[in-house]
Structure 1
């Protein structure tokens, strides 16, 4: 079991609008720390509803988009203009509305869609190019990884009971048997996720009540994929949820402040 530097910090907001505002402030603080240390801000994003919850960054003068380097925590193996593409979703709802350099966004290589091994190796090489020459860690150390939470407890493309939950060496892995479509995906592995400086889950809505309560209140007994996100000693784990999602959670909630 990985050592955690501190217990998760759990923020619950009365409304979606308050969550969006708090999440934006949190990201700005993470950006400030990263730029102060190394002059760049490395981020990995999931898809689903999460990109829309980054709306608080749009038009915010404090965001230094030219310093961002954005990767995907997971991606569906489809063309970049396909409706299932996380890259398309992030582009439509966020990147097309802000001044982020195109070269700072790192999608999958769509010339390799027919070979999942090559595709995941290619994406891992993108990470190596970004991190290996600048950091000395065994795994890349993202400044921030933003994750969603499925009602089944999955996060990124790490699903309950799947063999990828045991992956301990690769940075990027693939699956061709996703329990939800599309079947073919690539995903960051736990060693990468758990080496980030900050990992933040974002979860909203009543459909998340049961799974969120299980993860937060009974972590020793659950094997849900999201419960296995436990940053190592240099990292911290945060939850940004709304009151609808946290209605059944007994875990101590924190007052959001920076």
Structure 2
């Protein structure tokens, strides 16, 4: 596995390094394939990264933005990952509306919404049933329980291997999420993790042996690059081996 782990001294350094890598992946994808596809994560940690991206001069018409997961709330709801990304980044740049690909949350049945987003991905990436798209960059966070995207410990979503998108759940609330194989087909996956409250889960995620379904971030083993960018307070106790 092509895994690289970096522990950054503080939050500012974590965001700066995340920005450098994100910009590098954007430019590489555009140079190689003519466009860049990015899947965004929610939560508070990536917000300053999105704000920093919004200050850049980039070929916005060549960048397509997706989401790796979404809470099942209307897009104007304060809990919406889409709303956070729009306010921090997308509404502040001249990206074409058709380049923004939010997860639908307007169906009575979230399984229908998951299927609609899967169909949208298949149409955009021109993949057939059973095939998975290769996003250029998949941004992920990790919760203090070891979850990533909306793949929570010991939930049914962790076992889905034949679909791109599925319904996740947390505390009885529905989420829409990339499946494990969709994440793992990415050309580059970048975890951005901050906070001392993540230390215990990180120790299990990086342990040689642990339960993947108790710590779902362990299931992220992409075919492309895997970056773990950690703040000092999160990663200081890890015994790291980047090989």
Pairwise same-fold verdict (TM > 0.5): yes
Match of residue 122, structure 2, among 121, 128, 132: 128
Question: Would you say 1:56 and 2:47 are equivalent positions?
Answer: no
Residue 110 of structure 1 and its aligned partner are, at CA, apart by: 4.1
Distance of aligned partners of 1:170 and 1:99 in 2 relative to their CA distance in 1, 3 Å threshold? same
Residue 136 of structure 1 and its aligned partner are, at CA, apart by: 11
What's the RMSD between the two structures over aligned residues? 2.0
Equivalent residue number for residue 237 of structure 2: 248
Match of residue 210, structure 2, among 210, 218, 221: 221
Match of residue 165, structure 1, among 149, 158, 175: 158
Mapped contact 1:12–1:253 kept (Cα < 8 A): no
Equivalent residue number for residue 83 of structure 1: 78
TM-score by length of structure 1 reads 0.87
Residue 51 of structure 1 and its aligned partner are, at CA, apart by: 3.4
Gaps spanning 5+ residues in structure 1: where? none
| Partners of 1:37 and 1:76 in 2: CA distance | 33
Q: In the TM superposition, what whole-angstrom CA distance separates every residue of 1:179-214 from its partner, at most 9, and x where no partner exists?
A: 3x7x01110001110000000001001111111122
Equivalent residue number for residue 221 of structure 2: 230
Equivalent residue number for residue 101 of structure 1: 96
Q: In the TM superposition, what whole-angstrom CA distance separates every residue of 1:116-146 from its partner, at most 9, and x where no partner exists?
A: 121111111110111016x999201000000
Q: In the TM superposition, what whole-angstrom CA distance separates every residue of 1:96-131 from its partner, at most 9, and x where no partner exists?
A: 22222222111133442x111211111111101110
Match of residue 210, structure 1, among 172, 181, 200: 200
Gaps spanning 5+ residues in structure 2: where? none
SS state at 1:184 partner? strand
Equivalent residue number for residue 195 of structure 1: 185
Match of residue 142, structure 1, among 135, 143, 158: 135
Equivalent residue number for residue 4 of structure 2: 9
Q: In the TM superposition, what whole-angstrom CA distance separates every residue of 1:204-242 from its partner, at most 9, and x where no partner exists?
A: 0111111112212x142232100110012xx01101111
Question: Would you say 1:118 and 2:112 are equivalent positions?
Answer: yes
Mapped contact 2:167–2:174 kept (Cα < 8 A): yes
Mapped contact 2:46–2:192 kept (Cα < 8 A): no
| Partners of 1:90 and 1:219 in 2: CA distance | 35
Moved segments of 4+, more than 4 Å: none
Superposition pairs of residues 26-65 of structure 1, within 5 angstroms = 26-54=21-49, 55-61=51-57, 63-65=58-60
